[in-house]
Amino acid sequence: MIRQTLMILTATLTFSSFAFASGISDSERAAITDRIQPVGDVYLVGSEPATAEASGPRDGATVYGTFCVACHGTGVSGAPKKGDVGDWGARIAQGEDTLIKHAIEGFNAMPPKGTCMDCSDDEIKAAIEHMIAGL
């Protein structure tokens, strides 16, 4: 009887330590914890985490840095480069209204709103002004 109990005990210990040794890794544990997170978090009034979401219009530098720089930084597909007089001279000569219109509606390889679909016209205008500032 004692012998049997010992055997069962030993077996149990062996199996549980085996399960422990082959247990999930920290990253798997983190992944599981992630998956079982509740969909929404509850915050007490006043203790909401600060969000990066802007409450007002984004400034030109922000819009440029988020959307336009992808092409206008290095001149992808012939995009006029930020701050480059040679690239912008003739375009600026068309007048700002045309620049804004082309930026909003799209122009050849220039996509409408420079891919910032939730940008307001003013935000697009600010981004253009940021690109040609000082020219």
Stretch touching ligand HEC by CB under 6 A, among 12-20, 21-29, 36-44, 105-113? 105-113
Radius of gyration of the chain (CA): 30
Q: What is the dihedral of CA 82, 89, 103, 105, to 10 degrees?
A: -160
Among 32, 74, 98, 122, binds ligand HEC (CB under 6 A): 98
| Interaction between residue 71 and ligand HEC (CB under 6 A) | yes
Buried b (16+ CB within 10 A) or exposed e, 48-81: eeeeeeeeeebebeebbeebbbebbeeeeeebbb
| Interaction between residue 127 and ligand HEC (CB under 6 A) | yes
| Interaction between residue 58 and ligand HEC (CB under 6 A) | no
What is the binding site for ligand HEC (CB under 6 A)?
Answer: 63, 67-68, 70-72, 76-80, 91, 94, 98-99, 102-103, 107-111, 114-116, 124, 127-128
